[in-house]
Structure 1
Amino acid sequence: MVIEVRAATVFADVAAMVGPRRPDANVCWCLSYRIPAKQNAALAGRDRGALVQDLCAQDPPPGVLAYEDGDVVGWAAIHPRADTGFARNRRIPHVDDLDVWSVWCIRVRPGHRGKGLSHRLLDGAVDFARSYGAPAIEGYPVDNGDRKVDLTMAYVGTRSLFDRAGFTKAADTTSVVNGFPRVLMRLELP
């Protein structure tokens, strides 16, 4: 098994990871935190996919994808915090004025879970942000201890995932996902 993490520039592969089964369906497309709330609420159906297609052509693209033997199997959304909803989020504090990047969604396709792909995606997201000169990266995972997180809400990651990637807790938040508090985890980049 060969795992490779690459910039999310291939729209079809991003669509396979975060798009709907029906092109006209209203799904997140991993835009909920990426674009302003009013724009997110107004954008529907195929227009959501069209925006993601545009984002895939931008530099930097909207995240990274994991491939297993050439097949797309995972996704991580990462971008400068200033260009995301986290820049204005009242529940997720700002630690300082550093131009940090945020990683907010990590997804692994069913059938490929339990192989450590979330770890590879987070490591790949860190490398991606570093390649763009990010001074630090933040994530906002749930602090679930050893309790199970519902798979539909596990996209934010767990504190232990971020701990293992070298992130440290920088702050508490007032955000809660699936009954679990979220913490602000941060990794300073050299």
Structure 2
Amino acid sequence: MTIEILPATGERFDDAEVALDSGDGPGCQCQWWLLTNADFQAASRTDLAERLRAETQSERPPGLIAYIDGEPAGWVRVGPRTTQPRLARTRDVKTSTVEPLDADDVWAVSCFVVRRQFRGRGLTRALLDAAVSRARDAGARVVEGYPLDPTVTARSTAQLFRGTVAVFQDAGFAVVNRPKPDRALVALALHD
């Protein structure tokens, strides 16, 4: 099995769509953290896909695509926390972070998708490692995540789009706060 993880650029938009189509729901096109709830609810899947397409064509791709043996298998959203405005309005984030909400050098890993047929192969961890490398290379000072803890409250695979506390801790992230027993804000310092 060969795993390759590449930026979600414009020429890979179709692969991003395949990676995001996990079969677990209608598909948010990884726009949840970018829109208000009202705007998200009002948007069609086509609208959301067009927003994602525009992001992949921008200077900074919105995420990474994992390929297994050349087939799109997974996705992770990673970028400056300020480019994901819903995070700054989310109570669990606002009350748990120790970082200024307007800090451009704080990056967020906010969404994972692994297609059903590729689960159980460590792909979430590989995506997280690649996301941290991307953030480090771009000059991020801190990377945050907002995972759930399925050992406290059972969750469906679709609900674990934020990742799990265990995966982040295994990658060296520290739990900064637990706003609820089954939720955490985790952080990894990259630069002093």
Secondary structure of 2:33 counterpart: coil
Q: Per-residue deviation at 1:144? A: 2.7
Secondary structure of 2:32 counterpart: coil
Q: Equivalent residues in 2 for 1:87-166 (5 A)?
A: 87-93=88-94, 94-97=97-100, 98=103, 99-145=105-151, 148-166=154-172
Aligned length: 182
Secondary structure of 1:103 counterpart: strand
Q: Which moved more, 1:92-101 or 1:77-86?
A: 92-101
1-structure distance, mates of 2:21, 2:153: 29
Encode CA deviations 1:91-147: one digit per residue, 9 max, x unaligned: 223312243111111111111111111110000111111121111111111123377
Computed over aligned residues only, the root mean square deviation of the Cα atoms, in angstroms, reads: 2.1
2-structure distance, mates of 1:44, 1:76: 22
Secondary structure of 2:118 counterpart: coil
Encode CA deviations 1:50-104: one digit per residue, 9 max, x unaligned: 1110000112111111111211111001121112111222222331224311111
TM-score of the aligned structures, taking structure 2 as reference length: 0.86
Q: Per-residue deviation at 1:40? A: 2.2
Structure 2: gaps of 5 or more residues: none
TM-score of the aligned structures, taking structure 1 as reference length: 0.87
2-structure distance, mates of 1:125, 1:73: 15
Residue aligning to 1:74: 74
2-structure distance, mates of 1:147, 1:32: 22
State the identity %: 34
2-structure distance, mates of 1:125, 1:186: 13
Q: Per-residue deviation at 1:173? A: 2.1
- The one of 15, 32, 49 equivalent to 1:13 is 15
Q: 1:117 to 1:19 in 2, by over 3 A?
A: closer
Q: Per-residue deviation at 1:41? A: 3.0
